[in-house]
Amino acid sequence: MICELAKKDIEELQTTNVLPQTTFWGRIKRNQGFIPKGFELTISRDLLVTSANSLEKKGEDLLVLIKYVNPNACFAYVPYGPKMEPTFENQGLLLEQLSESIRPHLPANCIFIRYDLTWENQWAAEDDYFDEQGNWIGPPPAHTQEYRVNFNTVTGNVKKSIEDNLPKNTFFLDLTLNEQELMYNMRYNTRYNVRKATKKGIRVREYGLEQIGEWYKLYFDTAMRHNMALQSQDYFSSILRNQDNSKNGVTVKMLMADIDGRFLSSMFLVLSRKRGTYLYGASSSDKDNLMASYALQWESIRISKEWGCTEYDMFGSAPNLDSSHPLHGVHIYKKGFGGDLYHRMGCWDYPYDQKQYDIFRLQEAQK
């Protein structure tokens, strides 16, 4: 079994569908106080598939972010990586070997490494974890998850994180379908609202930094309504400034829906290789916006398809239809566009300094 890493400048990372594993994401996170590091990862196929020929190797680029929690300690964070997905029984083994292989490349005071995994949640593939209505009830308790994931590992040291950082559940739309098929896959009310918005005269257009203030007004309104943690206007400006602006890189489009020059809804669409991602959205509280958010989302889907994307990531939803979930309304809205609900494994840790990790974990649980 082989797991090797070579340092690589983050500006040289290959563009991927997985937005948080791009140069663009590294630049954004650098502005937020992280230290981005790039690597070229090579692993033998028997770390992915137990029966594979170990002489076969696969490679990919890996973005790792270093974050200092105090002057004397830091942790490493891998956003939506590694991208290569092993069979269920090899997941813990791959994380263990990757963690040990990357350790010499990290600061000596690194407490642990955290992987925000895009891999399909193991328990979303089992009928026992769905209710009679077909809703996923979620994975078992953390200790049960750890017992299974650590199968095949040497140390048994892969731990389920207290929190998940990036969205763990999302809807994916298949953009290989034509527009008529995409419309047909929508729920009736969603399709009706898209058409109603057009009839009402809602226009969707792309804007640049000159309208970032208008975006932020809508965003601030939305954050206050939903009691969301606020990002600064400079943060959103940096998203537009740090794009690569080419089909070989990452392109960001700030789309805004208006009627008679009055902005009602806005979003950041990010195009990375073959995937369009609905990264941020905001809307006015004015009379349901004349269904502006539906017109905006549909135009975003159309732009992604025209750009050559084969999939569209709604980037976050509730795991099921539980009305008590804080993202229930978001889930209903996104579900209406007809995508398939996907459940990720979420965040998993590999401690290097067990004592300091336990202290960090305790503090994280008390937030």
DSSP string for 192-222: HHHHHHHHTT-EEEEE-GGGHHHHHHHHHHH
Same domain, 255 and 274: yes
The dihedral formed by the CA atoms of 23, 29, 35 and 41, expressed in degrees to the nearest 10: -40
Number of folded domains that form the chain: 2
The rounded distance, in Å, linking the Cα atoms of 289 and 259 is 9
Q: What is the pLDDT of residue 13?
A: 94
Alpha helices of the chain — where are they, by DSSP H? 23-31, 91-102, 142-149, 179-185, 188-199, 212-226, 233-241, 292-307, 328-335, 354-365
The string of pLDDT tens digits covering residues 191-200 is: 999 999 999 9
Same domain, 9 and 140: yes
Structure tokens at 13: 């990372």
Distances (CA, A) of 37 to 25, 66, 83, 115, 211: 11, 8, 16, 14, 33
What are the contacts of 85-89 at 24+ separation with CB within 8 A?
Answer: 85/48, 85/118, 85/119, 85/120, 86/47, 86/48, 86/49, 86/119, 87/48, 87/49, 87/50, 88/122, 88/125, 88/148, 89/50, 89/151, 89/152
- Among candidate residues 216, 112, 199, 213, the one with its CA nearest the CA of residue 155: 112
Same domain, 250 and 353: no
The rounded distance, in Å, linking the Cα atoms of 112 and 304 is 37
CATH of the domain at 197: 3.40.630.30
Same domain, 119 and 140: yes
Same domain, 15 and 145: yes
Same domain, 78 and 182: no
Q: What is the pLDDT of residue 303?
A: 98
* Per-residue pLDDT in tens (0 to 9) along the chain, 367 residues: 678 899 999 999 999 999 999 999 999 999 999 999 999 999 988 888 876 665 567 889 999 999 999 999 999 999 999 999 999 999 999 999 999 999 999 999 999 999 999 999 999 999 999 998 889 999 999 999 999 999 999 999 999 999 999 999 999 999 999 999 999 999 999 999 999 999 999 999 999 999 999 999 999 999 988 888 889 999 999 999 998 866 668 999 999 999 988 999 999 999 999 999 999 999 988 765 679 999 999 999 999 999 999 999 999 999 999 889 989 999 999 999 999 999 999 999 999 999 999 999 999 998 7
The string of pLDDT tens digits covering residues 282-330 is: 998 876 567 999 999 999 999 999 999 999 999 999 999 988 998 999 9
Same domain, 302 and 359: no
Same domain, 162 and 196: no
In the chain, what is the straight-line distance between the N-terminal and C-terminal CA atoms, in Å?
A: 39
Contacts of 99 (CB under 8 A, 6+ apart): 113, 350, 352
Token look-up 């965003």 returns 219
Q: Which domain holds residue 232?
A: 176-309
Q: What is the pLDDT of residue 304?
A: 98
Structure tokens at 229: 């943690």
Q: What's the farthest any 2 CA atoms get from each other in the chain?
A: 64
Same domain, 189 and 259: yes
* β-strand partners of 58: 43
Helix/strand/coil for 99: helix
- Among candidate residues 19, 15, 17, 13, the one with its CA nearest the CA of residue 274: 17
Same domain, 15 and 120: yes
